């Protein structure tokens, strides 16, 4: 067999489970990663000729564990071996290991691995980088290109993240119910951070856009671990709904197309249908949460055949609920868009202006403020807001979008003066 693509897919799918199990054995992230890499190298030597094993995950864990033990023993002159119960098992049979993979260890292993990547001691940028490197297996070069930093800088960022995790003494015992719930919330937030890093990429060609696909894959993995958790359903539905619009978000020149101006025939109906089914299932649990509410808002957009068919009144109500459940100036800012559609720019601006102190460094705040001021016939103030937005833009596409608004404002200024 010469086509090795299936092996790469097998490695990608198996990585979180295998690495999580090896981490439980060795309680050391570096050793677990090296053991996984060695198992993959051995698989590349044997699988093409012999074909895939009955259970690739079990095979990789079995080979990786033995490889890791050998590596630890080679270092025994300078480093003591872990306790025997950590690295040994009374059964060395691959089949026996495969039978135990469906037990409670499976969920806890992957959850522990994900939790390590979103440890609260790590800043968000390090959480994302560590998760993409450890859980997703992306190379340092890939991650560095997406973050627009040098390879050495990204290597240092990941190394610092691992050092912080090691210094924090993350426990390896099976988490209790309360801690597990806390971990799920942290993991969900980390996955959504990864998604947003890809979704906000500057045009469809940017390498970082692949992060969105990876976040969706991790969301599906988390849902398999917790199939009855409505907020995880909401998270996955939210990402799918946002991703469904990807083909319509930029024009041929890479310029941003606003939601109301997008060609809705380009939206991915398969992703939308999957998301709507997930959201309906989540709502039936009657345990609303922020991800479900945001997904419900995105669903209303996806159900509107034309921009003018959008149910802005329902969107306003959902944002009000989200404000009560998860108060945030960004939520209020987003609600102002719905208020502008329903009751005009003046009332929307009244919602926006009190947020100035909290959102002065936020690109979207100044962009919306400028748009509302322009609608109210206050071009001088709008120009100031747009200038501030350009200074805070995260990408050339964002800056170009605001410059286009400025050009329209300048073109309208002579007419206003008359």
> What does the pLDDT look like over 204-213, one tens digit per residue?
555 567 788 8
Q: How far apart are CA 208 and CA 198, in angstroms?
A: 5
Query: Would you give the end-to-end CA distance of the chain in angstroms?
Result: 76
Tell me the CATH number for domain 1-77. Answer: 1.10.1740
What is the structure's pLDDT at 336?
97
On the question of pLDDT at 415 being above 90, the answer is no
What is the structure's pLDDT at 42?
92
- Residue 416: both structure tokens together: 């206003």
CA-CA-CA-CA torsion sign (263, 266, 271, 274) = positive
Question: Residue 256 — φ and ψ, nearest 5°?
Answer: -70, 135
* Closest to 113 (Cα-Cα) out of 233, 194, 32: 32
Q: How far apart are CA 386 and CA 26, in angstroms?
A: 54
What is the structure's pLDDT at 174?
57
What is the structure's pLDDT at 157?
92
Give every CB contact of residue 96 below 8 A, 6+ residues apart in sequence: none
Place of tokens 């001021």: 373
Question: Residue 280 — φ and ψ, nearest 5°?
Answer: -60, -40
For 255-270, what is the mean pLDDT? Answer: 94
> What does the pLDDT look like over 371-401, one tens digit per residue?
999 999 999 999 999 999 999 998 888 899 8
For 112-123, what is the mean pLDDT? Answer: 81
Q: How far apart are CA 132 and CA 346, in angstroms?
A: 43
Name the residue ranges covered by the structural domains of the chain. Answer: 1-77
Q: Give the Cβ contact number of residue 325 at 10 Å.
A: 13
At 237, the pLDDT band (50, 70, 90 cuts) reads very high
Give every CB contact of residue 193 below 8 A, 6+ residues apart in sequence: 124, 127, 128
- Cβ atoms of 335 and 368 closer than 8 Å: no
- Residue 342: both structure tokens together: 């329903």
Question: Residue 250 — φ and ψ, nearest 5°?
Answer: -135, 145
For 273-285, what is the mean pLDDT? Answer: 97
For 136-143, what is the mean pLDDT? Answer: 84
At 98, the pLDDT band (50, 70, 90 cuts) reads very low
Q: How far apart are CA 95 and CA 62, in angstroms?
A: 10
> What does the pLDDT look like over 144-177, one tens digit per residue?
877 768 899 999 999 998 888 888 776 655 566 6
């Amino acid at each position: 067999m010469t086509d090795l693509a299936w092996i790469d897919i097998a490695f990608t799918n198996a990585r979180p489970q295998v690495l999580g199990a090896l981490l439980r054995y060795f309680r050391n992230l570096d050793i677990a990663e090296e053991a996984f890499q060695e198992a993959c190298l051995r698989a590349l030597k044997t699988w093409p000729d012999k074909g895939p094993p009955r259970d690739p995950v079990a095979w990789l864990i079995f080979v990786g564990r033995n490889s890791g033990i050998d590596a630890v023993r080679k270092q025994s002159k300078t480093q003591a071996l872990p306790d025997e119960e950590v690295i040994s098992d009374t059964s060395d049979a691959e089949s026996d290991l495969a039978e135990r993979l469906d037990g409670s260890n499976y969920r806890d292993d992957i959850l522990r691995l994900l939790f390590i990547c979103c440890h609260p001691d790590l800043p968000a940028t390090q959480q994302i980088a560590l998760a993409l490197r450890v859980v997703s297996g992306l190379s340092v070069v890939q991650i560095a290109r997406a973050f627009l930093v040098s390879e050495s800088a990204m290597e240092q960022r990941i190394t610092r993240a691992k050092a912080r995790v090691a210094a924090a003494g993350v426990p390896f015992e099976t988490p209790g119910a309360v801690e597990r719930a806390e971990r799920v919330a942290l993991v969900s937030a980390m996955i959504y951070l990864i998604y947003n890093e890809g979704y906000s990429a500057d045009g469809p060609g940017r390498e970082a856009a692949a992060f969105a696909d990876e976040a969706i894959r991790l969301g599906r993995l988390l849902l398999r671990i917790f199939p009855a958790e409505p907020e995880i359903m909401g998270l996955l539905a939210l990402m799918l709904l946002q991703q469904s619009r990807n083909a319509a978000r930029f024009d041929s020149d890479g310029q941003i197309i606003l939601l109301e101006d997008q060609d809705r025939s380009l939206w991915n109906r398969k992703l939308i249908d999957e998301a709507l089914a997930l959201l309906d299932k989540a709502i039936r649990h009657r345990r609303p949460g922020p991800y479900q509410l945001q997904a419900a808002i995105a669903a209303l957009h996806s159900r509107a055949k034309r921009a003018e068919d959008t149910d802005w009144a329902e969107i306003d109500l959902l944002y009000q609920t989200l404000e009560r459940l998860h108060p945030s100036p960004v939520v209020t800012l987003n609600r102002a868009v719905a208020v502008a559609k329903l009751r005009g720019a003046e009332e929307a601006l009244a919602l926006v202006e009190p947020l100035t102190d909290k959102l002065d460094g936020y690109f979207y705040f100044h962009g919306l403020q400028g748009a509302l001021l322009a609608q109210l016939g206050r071009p001088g103030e709008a120009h100031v807001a747009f200038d501030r937005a350009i200074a805070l833009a995260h990408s050339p596409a964002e800056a170009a979008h605001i410059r286009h608004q400025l050009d329209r404002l300048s073109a309208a200024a002579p007419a206003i003066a008359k």
